[in-house]
Structure 1
Amino acid sequence: MIERKQLKDRTQVTFVLPAHDPEGAVSVVGDFNHWNPAAHPLQPQSDGTRAASVSLPAHTSHSFRYLAAGDYWFNDPTADHHDGTNSHIHT
Structure 2
Amino acid sequence: MSIKKQTLKSKPVCKVTFRIPKEMAPEANEATVVGDFNNWKEEVTPMQKLKSGDFTVTMELSQNQSFQFRYLVNKSVWINDEEADGYIPNAFGEENSVVNTL
TM exceeding 0.5? yes
Pairwise CA distance, 1:71: 1.1
2:82 corresponds to which of 73, 77, 84: 77
Pairwise CA distance, 1:5: 1.0
Counterpart for residue 98 of structure 2: 88
Question: Residues 70 and 58 of structure 1: is their aligned pair in 2 closer, same or farther, counting only changes over 3 Å?
Answer: closer
Counterpart for residue 66 of structure 1: 71
Q: Distance in 2 between matches of 1:44 and 1:19?
A: 9
Counterpart for residue 4 of structure 1: 5
Instruction: Report the TM-score when normalising by structure 2.
Output: 0.79
Q: Distance in 1 between matches of 2:75 and 2:50?
A: 23
1:31-87 CA-partner distances (Å, limit 9, x unpaired): 1001111111110236x2320111111111000000111511111010000123100
- Supply the RMSD in Å over aligned alpha carbons: 1.6
Q: Which runs of 5+ in 2 are unaligned?
A: 90-94
1:63–1:88 contact (8 Å) kept in structure 2: yes
Q: How many residues get paired?
A: 90
Counterpart for residue 92 of structure 2: none
Q: Which runs of 5+ in 1 are unaligned?
A: none
